Amino acid sequence: MTDTSPFPSGLTTRPARQDDLRAVTELLRGSELVDRGEAEITPEDVASVWSMPDFDLDKESNMIFDDDRLVGYGEVYQWRAEATVYPDARDRGIGTGLVAWTEQATLARRSASEEARIGQTIIDSNHTAIELLKRNGYTRRHTSWALRMPGDVEIKDQPLPDGYAIRLFDEKDERQVFQVVEDAFNEWPNRTPSTFEKWQGWVTLRDDFDPSLVFVAIHEEEVVGVAVGLSYPDEGWVHQLAVQRDHRRKGLAKALLKTTFDQMRTLGFPEVGLSTDSRTGALDLYLDLGMEVRESYTHYSKLLRPAAIAQEADG
């Protein structure tokens, strides 16, 4: 039988299982430590994808082993791939195999009539991974930045227009908050709309979700803006920030950030940060507040198969 595995001989692979969560997280953290200089990903981050109702762990994840040792991991979810090789197992062709596997898994999950595209977001300092993707036909799509607020910088008070207020999140706000976030991100070109259930898995159903780090902007009893904070071991993090289109340019985003950052500092977080990308146009807002770019990333994408075009029958 012909070996069709994209991985070097001698390695074994299998899909991840729920009880592999810690092992996969430790692999990803080991890669982060080398590629970024620090490790931040948590089991809750990994579980937030694994818990998505349309994520198939058996078909969309792959663990690569050298004997019994986990040396690589990949997953695909919708149009996005995450893949890494443990640092001391690199330069063996495992990364090349993971690129091929992510493409195969993406094609398998798309019907022949659908467009099939896959992409990965790579930190700009990881030149080896970037060159690997470029050699395999991936091109730049957008840039993202991780920003951090220096501990000695305070956001100035942000007075709100009449009729607006900011308060803590309440469970009854959940669907309104989802809709504000969903509407804002659906302004991005070619975005696949999400669902309330997916958003819950990504936010409120996470084991580390803390409602004391979530604030909403209110106008006439309606939620028109939100800042969702998360707590990590070494920093507070703004997971999502959104304001309804009709209520922008009123200072709501800055006021939400000030309230959230102040709360994080009150709770003792040594650092506070967030990420944004070139599709939002929000980088200048964060820089104006005094935040500093910590890292930059680029998303590389590849069209695997265009959408089929229906052909009219000859008359």
Residue-wise pLDDT tens digits, 162-196: 999 999 999 999 999 999 999 999 988 778 889 99
Whose CA is closest to 222, among 272, 160, 264, 180?
Answer: 180
Q: Which two tokens stand for residue 215?
A: 């604030």
Greater pLDDT, 233 or 200? 200
| Closest C-alpha to 95, from 79, 103, 104, 83 | 83
Contacts of 193 (CB under 8 A, 6+ apart): 182, 186
- With cut-offs at 50, 70 and 90, classify the pLDDT of residue 315: very low
How do residues 207-229 score in pLDDT, each as one tens digit?
999 999 999 999 999 999 999 99
Pairing of strands 139-149, 292-305: antiparallel
For the segment 19-65, what is each residue's pLDDT rounded down to a tens digit?
999 999 999 999 999 999 999 999 999 999 999 999 999 999 999 99
Residue 270 confidence (pLDDT): 78
Res. 198: pLDDT tops 50: yes
Percent share of the chain, pLDDT over 90: 84
The span from the CA of 5 to the CA of 23, in Å, is 23
SS3 61: strand
Half-sphere exposure (Cβ direction) of 128: Cα atoms closer than 13 Å: 12
Which pLDDT value is given to residue 312? 42
Of 218, 208, 199, residue with least CA distance to 256: 218
**HEC letters along 69-124:** EEEEEEEEECCEEEEEECHHHCCCCHHHHHHHHHHHHHHHCCCCCCCEEEEEEEEC
- The confidence score (pLDDT) of residue 112 equals 87
Q: CA–CA separation, 264 vs 254, rounded Å? A: 15
151-290: CATH number: 3.40.630.30
The domain spans of the chain are 11-145+300-305, 151-290
Q: What is the CATH number of domain 11-145+300-305?
A: 3.40.630.30
Work out the end-to-end distance of the chain between its first and last CA atoms, rounded to an integer number of angstroms.
47
* CA-to-CA separations, 109 to 13, 103, 106, in angstroms, rounded: 19, 10, 5
pLDDT higher than threshold 80 for residue 127:
yes
Q: What is the pLDDT of residues 275-301, one digit of tens each?
A: 999 988 899 999 999 999 999 999 999
Q: Whats the size of the chain, residue-wise?
A: 315
Angle between the N-to-C axes of helices 21-36 and 43-50, in degrees from 0 to 180, rounded to the nearest 10: 120
Predicted structure pTM score: 0.88
Per-residue tokens: 154: 């305070």
Task: Identify whether the C-beta of residue 208 lies closer than 8 Å to the C-beta of residue 265.
Answer: no
